[in-house]
Structure 1
Amino acid sequence: MDQQLLVFVTVAEKESFSRAAEQLHMTQPAVSQHIQALEREFGTRLLERSNKYVRLNKAGEIVYHHAKEILGLHTRMRDLVDDLMNTPSGNLIIGASYTFGEYVLPHVVARLRDRYPKIKPTITIHNTKEIVELIAGRQLDAGIVEGECRHEKLSIEPFADDEMQIIVSSSHRLAKKVKVTVEELEEETWIVREEGSGTREAAEKMFARLGLSPANLMEFGSTQIIKESVEAGMGVSLLSSWAIRKELTLGSLSTVKLSETPIMRKFSLVTQANPFRTKALDIFLDLLRKNDVLPDSLERK
């Protein structure tokens, strides 16, 4: 069954029997036989086929979703058993929301690899909501997310503080002011992240706390695009100090002084609520908890 599920998932993702056969080092007839056997098992077709495409139908979508989880559990089970007798090694699939993933995690992974070269990390970057869903679906070993999140099946552990600042272009009229008012900020165009982002959550909490209702709001799906847009004078934003450190050093961005800033939030570790973990995952989590691989400028919990 595991082999059939692997073949099915590969065909679904490649949208092709021939490309799946190539990746799996199998013949195309063998791939077709596995798919047919799986469809007999479920008593229904799982894939719509034509000369131009291969795609999942409704039943196939259900099987694909659960097959990914089953294959992930099988791989994890095998890794855990192998891990008992070996030095820390193997794959480590890490997910992170954008701020931590793009500006902090590379430093952490570099130090992890320096100490444990046999551990092979893979990094996935999404917003906070998507990272939590991927861990719940057992497609990631661990995740680091921004802001607050809850999930009844996952372990969520705050481990570090993140300082957030209101930013403007260095040529903006508010950049030279010793202190600004909420009324002045309300007149500006605010550039924010998409729904589901920890950075968006932090901005909305700040708006509510200050009683600030932006006259204009622009939504972008990337921290880098937000920084470039603020630099170009399109508006103001709230971003992590870690994400803007280079721009502040270069002088292309400035922070706005408000009595309520900086805004503080937490970075949290998200894992399966499961006592069975690989050595690689335990090492990664311990390094983060001990704070000895975090960059010096990231404030500790």
Structure 2
Amino acid sequence: MNIALKQLKVFVTVAQERTITAAAEKLFLSKPAVSMALSELEKQLDHKLFDRNNNRLLINEQGKKLLPLADELLARSNTIEKLFDQEDIIAGELKIGSSDTVGNQLTPFLIRDFRAHTQHQHQKLFISNTAHVCQKLSEFELDVGFVEGKVQHPDLIVQPWLEDNMVVACHPEHPLAQIEELRLSDLEDSEWVLRETGSGTREFFLNRLAPRLEHWTPAFELNTTEAIINSVTAGLGITCISQRAALHAVEEKRIVLLPMPLDMRRQYWLIFHKEKYQSPLLESFIQFSQQWTFD
């Protein structure tokens, strides 16, 4: 058996893109070349690696067994290629995923400090909601992730990272802003501007605040924190967001924070695939992140 790295790269890309066409575009190859490489690999292994469903290829159990090993071999190959290009042992590219709040408020500064500490300059940052980051980690499209939502995925290792405080915010002239000693019951019948399903911020609201309210209305569902803040500034409702994310709008007096008689702390999480090959670069970054604090 003589499996080529090119075949493994085609296999991993097809697993991530789910179609021959998309994989071919990403690899800058023709569709026949991608199909042939995949067919040859399946023939050599004597196993189908995907279930065909119309034009989509869904990785099957045999393919899932191969995926972490293929990812590791490609990562090791990349390390070898760059071994003599740089004196630094931590060569390669790091693909980092962050959910919206973490990705906008913390991860850029983590990357800045990691660069200063190691002189490693090759990182990519993907920002989406917690569910999407977890999906990309499970498919080996990302190396490591930082999220605020709770993660329950059998293939992901989840470690506590930093903490955050959540706040309830409204327009300065909102009736709730005029109440000196706010009670949870005062929030009844309020209209809320919330993040989309799959977001850790929405999950916090649904788990911590919503069960304590008998009547609440979702006024808007938006996929960025800035859009939420602007909607609250426009008087379209109240919201529950990260205190870090709200800071600039509070300083500009566009919104005010309501004093909540409730513990509003939440945990951020560092996550990575349990079968992901930890190159010297990834291992160094995880260790650095575990010890990092935001000043």
Report the TM-score, using the length of structure 2 for normalisation: 0.79
Alignment partner of 1:266: what SS? strand
**C-alpha separation in 2, matches of 1:34 and 1:276:** 25
CA deviation after TM superposition for structure 1 residue 167, in Å: 0.5
Q: Give 5+ residue unaligned stretches, structure 1.
A: 49-54, 297-301
Counterparts in 2 of 1:275 and 1:17: CA distance versus 1, 3 Å = closer
**C-alpha separation in 1, matches of 2:129 and 2:26:** 30
Amino acid of the residue matched to residue 222 of structure 1? Answer: T
CA deviation after TM superposition for structure 1 residue 113, in Å: 1.7
**Counterpart residue number, 1:164:** 166
Alignment partner of 1:229: what SS? helix
CA deviation after TM superposition for structure 1 residue 210, in Å: 2.4
Q: Are the counterparts in 1 of residues 99 and 133 from structure 2 also a CA contact under 8 Å?
A: yes
**C-alpha separation in 2, matches of 1:171 and 1:122:** 41
CA deviation after TM superposition for structure 1 residue 93, in Å: 0.7
Alignment partner of 1:152: what SS? coil
Residue correspondences, number: 278
**C-alpha separation in 1, matches of 2:111 and 2:23:** 36
**Counterpart residue number, 2:32:** 32
CA deviation after TM superposition for structure 1 residue 103, in Å: 1.5
CA RMSD of aligned residues (A): 3.5
Counterparts in 2 of 1:17 and 1:284: CA distance versus 1, 3 Å = closer
**C-alpha separation in 2, matches of 1:16 and 1:113:** 33
**Counterpart residue number, 1:98:** 100
**C-alpha separation in 1, matches of 2:288 and 2:108:** 14
**Counterpart residue number, 1:249:** 251
Alignment partner of 2:108: what SS? helix
**C-alpha separation in 2, matches of 1:37 and 1:87:** 32
CA deviation after TM superposition for structure 1 residue 80, in Å: 5.8
Alignment partner of 2:176: what SS? coil
CA deviation after TM superposition for structure 1 residue 122, in Å: 0.6
Deviations 1:134-158 (A, max 9, x none): 2122221110111322222221111
Q: Are the counterparts in 1 of residues 9 and 74 from structure 2 also a CA contact under 8 Å?
A: no
CA deviation after TM superposition for structure 1 residue 17, in Å: 9.8
Amino acid of the residue matched to residue 248 of structure 1? Answer: V
Deviations 1:182-216 (A, max 9, x none): 23312210111122111011001122452443144
Q: Are the counterparts in 1 of residues 144 and 271 from structure 2 also a CA contact under 8 Å?
A: yes
Q: Are the counterparts in 2 of residues 90 and 119 from structure 1 also a CA contact under 8 Å?
A: no
Matches within 5 A, 1:75-224: 75-79=74-78, 86-224=88-226
Q: Are the counterparts in 2 of residues 180 and 256 from structure 1 also a CA contact under 8 Å?
A: yes
Amino acid of the residue matched to residue 185 of structure 2? Answer: E
Alignment partner of 1:161: what SS? strand
Report the TM-score, using the length of structure 1 for normalisation: 0.77
**C-alpha separation in 2, matches of 1:206 and 1:133:** 25
Amino acid of the residue matched to residue 270 of structure 1? Answer: I
Matches within 5 A, 1:257-272: 257-260=259-262, 263-272=264-273
**C-alpha separation in 1, matches of 2:109 and 2:269:** 17
Counterparts in 2 of 1:245 and 1:123: CA distance versus 1, 3 Å = same
Counterparts in 2 of 1:19 and 1:219: CA distance versus 1, 3 Å = closer
**C-alpha separation in 1, matches of 2:117 and 2:148:** 26
**C-alpha separation in 1, matches of 2:113 and 2:37:** 46
Alignment partner of 2:244: what SS? coil
**C-alpha separation in 1, matches of 2:276 and 2:24:** 40
Amino acid of the residue matched to residue 35 of structure 2? Answer: I
**C-alpha separation in 2, matches of 1:17 and 1:138:** 15
Counterparts in 2 of 1:33 and 1:255: CA distance versus 1, 3 Å = closer
